[in-house]
Structures are given as structure tokens and as C-alpha cells.
Amino acid sequence: MKVTKFGGSSLANGDQIRKVFQIIKADPRRKIVVVSAFGKQYPTDVKVTDLLISYYLDYKNKKNIKKIQEKLVTRFSCVLQELDLKEMTSVITDKIKNLTELSLENAYVYDQFLSLGETCSALILTAFFNKNGLTASFVSPKEAGILVEGDSAQATLLPQANQKIRLLSKRREILIIPGFFGITQKDEVCTFSRGGSDITGAIIAAGLNAELYENFTDVDGIYAANPNQIESPVIIEEITYREMRELATLGFNVIHHEALIPVERACVPMVLKNTNHPELNGTKIVSRWTIDMPLVGVSSSKGYDLLKVNKYMRNRTASVIRSCFEILEQLNISVEAMTTGIDDFTILIKHNPLSEQNEKRLIETIQERLDPDEVRFTKHLAIISAVGEEMRQQTHITSRATKALAQKKIKIETLLQGSSEVSLLFVVAEHQENKAVRTLYAEFFD
């Protein structure tokens, strides 16, 4: 049995939903369908999830909600008309309007607003399938057993969820499940982080030990670089879960990085395919690949700061690094990566625009408690990540990459190797991010 997830781009309008129907109809092993909220129909369009966020904010701030309600109702009515399902308009309209009956005191009210996008997609798809001859049932995340914990919009799966998820295999008809959220033990709707329908698909595929987790989107596969940075990059035929996790964490937002963990643990192979060209192979995500390539992809992410602390004979004073971590913890700053030298250490931090105040306190406290020779804080940095399992064997990759960057006059602030040994991270100035990606792509793929 296959678990098949469709992203918002595959559900943006009636035509796209018809393609989804054909894809499911074409393969009887596609028994479980996980859906996102309707996505963008054209680049300047607004995703349903983003409309729901605006709706929540207007409701919370006691603004006039009529306009945003109208936008949402129109968005759904148009699709329902295209699909010849006008009889569902009142059901969906009521669901949209009833959101304003929720108490703002509830810690998960934001999640209730957001989750409606996925719930409506699944209800509409179920009605469309049944009307067109494919027997399907709507299965809510509660009924499916997606039991989660966590604060609002930060759901994580509880291990006991798998017992109930497994029972879904007994059902004979096609099951259509809204992605992006689960249910807490206190029966509250709690969403995953943005893009989290990928996580739902992975959880269900792993829980059912599916033969394949298919993730349908709007590109022919995973490219070796973000297509928004490189024009027509090559498509990766096969990639390991570990490589994909490294790339997804830093810039390849085509798959949510948290979606890779459940399928990797359960050894469920995954494939990313295009809803608009389902006949193409797409990209397979597997435990081991068979194709020899020095690198599989180059990704990047901006918005990092680097803290450099220099203290003579640091390596003889065990407490220096510990004290620095304590200060970071007190200021609620989490560490992305670090390097150490005899007299110094460097810590990479995700920049938080809301805590500029913390930066000042961080430097002052380090000066007070660590008595360093020098403390430097460099802002506006980007991480460029070059990823490939072959990196473990091929030492020349580092020298090729640094040489290529130097030739283009790109200054490497710091160079880190992920402890997974499948990634090399180059920290560069933010304004050199795209140039650095283009340079490494040209070196290894052109």
C-alpha cells in the first residue's frame, strides 16, 4: 500500500484536483491520501493557510472580519463550482464563519483556524472522489490516531500514536486525511510547523509500514540547487534520507526536514513527483544510493550570526565553553553549530530580529564572566551547505570547494563539517549567498 501526499500546489484549483483524482485512480495501491490546504494558483496568489492566518489576526485584534471571510468563502466557492460540487458551499461557508465562535482564551485557537484549510481540502476531495466513482472516506487526524504534544503550532508526534495509525490498514476504501495537524491528549487541534503536511504523510506512511511514501508537488523532482537561485538545475535521481535532511534543513523547502525522520526510521522509501507530470520518475529518497556523485546538492540559508570568543589557552580551561553555553541558555539562544581552536571558539546562531537587546547582553555577560581577550559578533551571514555521502571518502571535495570560492573572491567566515560527515558548511556574508551557491554548483554540477 502507498501513502500519497499532495501539496497545496497540487490542490490550487479544480483542474489540479482533477489531476489528483486521475493519479489516485491510476494505481489501486494508492489507498491513503494526505492533503494540504489549497495553494497558490499563480505566483501572486495567496495560499489558503495564509488567508486563515490573516483571518485569525483580524479576529484576535477585533478588526472587521467580513472582508477576509468573504475572500475565503469566494476561494472555496470557485473551486466547488469548477468541480460541480456547489451543494458543499454552505457546509464550507459555515465552517469558515463558525471559527469566530472559538474562544481566544484557548491556547490552540490559532491552530484551529489554520487546520481548517486542510480539513476543507480533504472534505472536498472526498466528495469529488465519491461523485466520480472512487469510494473514499474522510478520516480526521483524530480518527487516524495522529496523537501529538507541544505548544501551539509546534506539534510533535507521541510514540503511542502508531498503534492506532496501524489500524487504518484494515480499511478497504480510499482514505483521505487532512495533513498539517494532529490532536493532543486533551483533544486540542495542534498544527506542525509550516509545510507540515509532509510530516503527516511521513507519520502515516511510517505507522502503516507503507511500501512507498509519494509526495506530489509542482516540480519534476528535487533539484541539486534551489531553482529560485539557479536556472534549471539538474534533477537528483536518488538521494539518501540523511542527505535530504541536511539540504531540507538549510534551504531545500521542497520537503519539510522533519518529514524525513519517521520514514527513515521505518525504512519506508519516499519519492517526490510532479502532479503535472506524474509519468516522470521524480526523485527517490532511500537509505543508500547507487549513483556515484561527489556531491548531491548545494543549498543555503541566510539569517545567521557568528559569535567569536578568543581567550588565550582556552584549551586548558574546561569551564570557558561551559560558561558560554550557560549564558546562551539563560538568554534563550540556541546554538546551530560550533568550532573550537586552541585559543578560541566560534558559535553559529540563528539571528532573531526580536532579540537585538539579547545580543548586547550576551557580549556584556561574556566579557564579565569569561574575561576573554576578544569577543566579536558578526551579523548578516548565510550558510552554504554542500552535501553528499561521498564526502566521507573523497577528501578533495573540500579543497575543490574552497578553491572555487576563493577564485570568486568569496570570503569564508568559517568552515564547518556536520558531524554526520555528509555536509560541508561554508559561512559567508549574506550578500554573497547566491554567488557562493552558483560557484559551488558550477564547480560540481555544470
Ligand X SMILES: N[C@@H](CC(=O)OP(=O)(O)O)C(=O)O
Q: Report the binding-site residues for ATP.
A: 5-8, 217-218, 223
Spatial contact of 92 and 86, defined as CB atoms under 8 Å apart: no
Spatial contact of 224 and 299, defined as CB atoms under 8 Å apart: no
Query: Which residue sits closest to ligand X, CB atoms considered?
Result: 8
Does the footprint of ligand X cover residue 8 (CB under 6 A)?
yes
- Enter the C-alpha cell of residue 200: 503527516
159-167, 220-228, 259-267, 414-422 -> range binding ligand ADP (CB under 6 A): 220-228
Count Cα atoms within 13 angstroms, Cβ side, for 341.
Answer: 13
254 binds, options ligand ADP, ligand X, none, Cβ within 5 to 8 A by partner type:
ligand ADP
Show the binding pattern over residues 19-38: x = contacts ligand X (CB under 6 A), - = does not. Answer: -----------------xx-
188-196, 378-386, 404-412, 423-431 -> range binding ligand X (CB under 6 A): 188-196
Spatial contact of 408 and 435, defined as CB atoms under 8 Å apart: yes
Nearest in space to 3 (alpha carbons), one of 32, 36, 39: 32
180 binds, options ligand ADP, ligand X, none, Cβ within 5 to 8 A by partner type:
ligand X
Does the footprint of ligand ADP cover residue 226 (CB under 6 A)?
yes
346 binds, options ligand X, ligand ADP, none, Cβ within 5 to 8 A by partner type:
none
Please say which residue, 1 or 153, places its beta carbon nearer to ligand X: 153
Does the footprint of ligand ADP cover residue 9 (CB under 6 A)?
yes
CA dist., res. 339 & res. 67, Å (int): 52
SS3 content of the chain, % helix, strand, coil (to 5): 45, 25, 35
Does the footprint of ligand ADP cover residue 191 (CB under 6 A)?
no
Q: How far is the CB of 195 from ligand ADP (least distance, A)?
A: 6
Phi and psi of 34, rounded to 5°?
-110, 130
Beta bridge partners of 212: 2
Does the footprint of ligand ADP cover residue 140 (CB under 6 A)?
no
Report the DSSP pairing between strands 238-240 and 283-286. Answer: parallel
300 binds, options ligand ADP, ligand X, none, Cβ within 5 to 8 A by partner type:
none
Does the footprint of ligand X cover residue 39 (CB under 6 A)?
yes
End-to-end CA, the chain:
39
CA dist., res. 136 & res. 123, Å (int): 10
Please say which residue, 138 or 223, places its beta carbon nearer to ligand ADP: 223
Nearest in space to 400 (alpha carbons), one of 442, 443, 434: 443
- Write the single-letter amino acid at 317: T
Does the footprint of ligand ADP cover residue 218 (CB under 6 A)?
yes
Rg (CA), the chain: 24
Does the footprint of ligand ADP cover residue 253 (CB under 6 A)?
yes
Does the footprint of ligand ADP cover residue 181 (CB under 6 A)?
no
Q: How far is the CB of 179 from ligand X (least distance, A)?
A: 6
223 binds, options ligand X, ligand ADP, none, Cβ within 5 to 8 A by partner type:
ligand ADP
Please say which residue, 257 or 308, places its beta carbon nearer to ligand X: 257
Phi-psi region of 251 (alpha: psi -120 to 50; beta: other; left: phi over 0): left
37 binds, options ligand ADP, ligand X, none, Cβ within 5 to 8 A by partner type:
ligand X
- Cite the annotated binding site for substrate by residue number: 49, 118
Pick from 26, 209, 211, 227: which binds ligand ADP (CB under 6 A)? 227
Angle 109-131/48-60 helices, nearest 10 degrees? 140
Spatial contact of 387 and 423, defined as CB atoms under 8 Å apart: yes
Spatial contact of 268 and 205, defined as CB atoms under 8 Å apart: yes
Is residue 138 classed as helix, strand or coil in its secondary structure?
Answer: strand
Pick from 141, 178, 195, 207: which binds ligand X (CB under 6 A)? 195
Pick from 16, 17, 20, 39: which binds ligand ADP (CB under 6 A)? 39
Binding region for ligand ADP (CB under 6 A): 7-10, 36, 39, 195, 217-219, 222-223, 226-228, 252-254
* Contact set with ligand X (CB under 6 A): 7-8, 36-37, 39, 47, 49, 117, 179-180, 194-198
